[in-house]
Structure 1
Amino acid sequence: MKLITSRENPLFKSLKKLESSAKDRKVEAKTLLDGEHLIEAYLSSGGIPELFILNEAAANGRASVDLLKRLEPERLIVMPDALLRELSPVKTPTGMIALIAIPGANAETSQADFCVMLEDIQDPGNLGTILRSAAGAGAQQVYLSSKCADAWSPKVLRAGMGAHFCLVIKENAELIKIADKLIGSIIATSLNANKSLFDLDLTGPVTFLVGNEGAGLSAQLEDVATEKVSIPMPGKIESLNAASAASICFFERVRQISTRS
């Protein structure tokens, strides 16, 4: 166990950069997890944190003791609460943070029967919510364009609630090239489509395309879709939030599969 008490400590400085800089997270292929829930989700997926950072109060708490049973003592760092708060992305820090290598950063993807492609999703809350819905619906792989928000930022991780560790997430993906190699239907939602999502057979291999919150899908990506569908909206709202529309699509597939089994 190591005690860090100074902001000038080189390790503290490097951790602070990971908390605040998407560029540093990408270069180092590392990120920080704040709180027992995210850390537990990571451990349950088979991951082992590189470091486990606690304030002095959390170091003596039951949750920390249970987590520490799975880690070597040399991976433990203790800091005063004031220092740990500077590393925490939340307003009310939990007192425990884990440093992890970003899973699957260099992993090869394989054929999957449920994929999601995200084009220029820029709001971290939307991105995390889409990842959470995708994981909940059983998606295996998610591809993000280069203009999407950083999937491993603290805000996206919080909104994802552990979904990151149930998915293969590929950032900076060339979506159109990847689409050519996918199996099954590639589905885009469109307000102008004549076919309803609920009339489409989603029980086979499928990829859902989700576009930018304001602009939607680019014409180039929409052209690769094999099916264009609308989500029926009998109310007086013209469109849905990107995360809401995506969730409806994902769980319509779940509904169809469950009713046929």
Structure 2
Amino acid sequence: MKTVTSRDNPFYKELKALAASSQARRKAGRTLLDGVHLCQSWLDLRGAPAHCIVSEEALHNPEVADIVERCEALRAHVTVLPDALFGALSQVEHGVNLLFLVETPAPGQPAAMTVSAVLLDGVQDPGNVGSILRSAGAAGITQVFCSPGTAFCWSPKVLRAAMGAHFVLEIFENVDLGALIEQSNIPVLAMSGYAQQKLYEVDLRGPVAWLLGHEGQGVGPELMAMATHQVVIPHGGQVESLNVAAAAAICFFEQLRQQGS
């Protein structure tokens, strides 16, 4: 365990850049996990982080102290910061002042989809992307493919919304979804408020790819034309449509229901 007290320390400057910029996170291939839940989940599912960062005050928190002890047992680097320096890194109000620096997983993209997957076509809101990842992980879906223009999955807001789902998923970013669909043999279901076929009329007992689009514009027309089915979730009332994350959750768990889980 070592202590950093200067804002001019090169490691601290690196942390500030990663905390503030998605571009810096993409370029470095690294990101920050903020808080006890995400850090515990990483330890449980992925093992040691590249670095554990904690504030002086947080060392007195029993949950944080336990995580620091686990990191040291795994021979991970641990750095302590004064509370004032740590405050410039965290985006969580009233947090516990614990961060993990981790390498962003970058799995090699498979040539084709063979299991149920999620395709995100320009979903821009980090909260929506995180919620979709969380629902996918909970429903047993293991692969997520994101087009260019989709929110960066390893940003702090997406990580917080997904609540650890990242660590049980294979996430592929900057994917040519059209090429992926062409190479795959599983049905592709595109969600559309204008579709005639209802979700509950589709056979979901086998693998499918769920195609979800931009919050305002929906799935792009070229990808929509490639879908095996265009489906709608029937709903009552005067609300025009469902939020994309809410719609995704309904779809994933309807599939789970049909599979008898």
Is 1:80 paired with 2:56? Answer: no
Is 1:96 paired with 2:122? Answer: no
Q: What's the CA shift string for 1:169-209, capped at 9, x where partnerless?
A: 11111111111222321001222222110011001010000
Q: Please report how far the alpha carbon of residue 111 of structure 1 lies from its aligned counterpart in structure 2 after TM superposition.
A: 4.2
- CA–CA distance in structure 2, aligned partners of residues 65 and 159 of structure 1: 24
**Match of 2:61?**
61
**Match of 2:71?**
71
User: CA separation of 1:149/1:74 partners in 2, compared to 1, >3 Å: closer, same or farther?
Assistant: closer
Q: Please report how far the alpha carbon of residue 25 of structure 1 lies from its aligned counterpart in structure 2 after TM superposition.
A: 0.7
- CA–CA distance in structure 2, aligned partners of residues 57 and 107 of structure 1: 40
Q: Please report how far the alpha carbon of residue 67 of structure 1 lies from its aligned counterpart in structure 2 after TM superposition.
A: 1.6
**Match of 1:16?**
16
Structure 1 runs of 4+ aligned residues shifted over 6 Å read: none
- CA–CA distance in structure 1, aligned partners of residues 37 and 17 of structure 2: 23
Map 1:8-47 → 2, pairs under 5 A: 8-47=8-47
3-state secondary structure, aligned to 1:17: helix
Q: Please report how far the alpha carbon of residue 96 of structure 1 lies from its aligned counterpart in structure 2 after TM superposition.
A: 0.6
Q: Please report how far the alpha carbon of residue 64 of structure 1 lies from its aligned counterpart in structure 2 after TM superposition.
A: 2.4
Residues 213, 241 of structure 1: 8 Å contact kept: yes
* AA of the residue aligned to 2:30: K
**Match of 2:253?**
251
In structure 2, stretches of 5+ residues that fail to align are none
For the aligned residue pairs, the C-alpha RMSD in angstroms reads: 1.5
Map 1:141-220 → 2, pairs under 5 A: 141-220=143-222
* AA of the residue aligned to 2:175: A
Q: What's the CA shift string for 1:87-124, capped at 9, x where partnerless?
A: 10112231111100012x14343744210000111111
**Match of 1:140?**
142
**Match of 1:107?**
108
Q: Please report how far the alpha carbon of residue 11 of structure 1 lies from its aligned counterpart in structure 2 after TM superposition.
A: 0.3
- CA–CA distance in structure 1, aligned partners of residues 65 and 100 of structure 2: 14
Q: Please report how far the alpha carbon of residue 225 of structure 1 lies from its aligned counterpart in structure 2 after TM superposition.
A: 0.4
- CA–CA distance in structure 2, aligned partners of residues 74 and 241 of structure 1: 40
- CA–CA distance in structure 2, aligned partners of residues 80 and 131 of structure 1: 34
* AA of the residue aligned to 2:188: I
- CA–CA distance in structure 1, aligned partners of residues 19 and 260 of structure 2: 41
- CA–CA distance in structure 1, aligned partners of residues 146 and 193 of structure 2: 23
TM-score (norm 1): 0.94
In structure 1, stretches of 5+ residues that fail to align are none
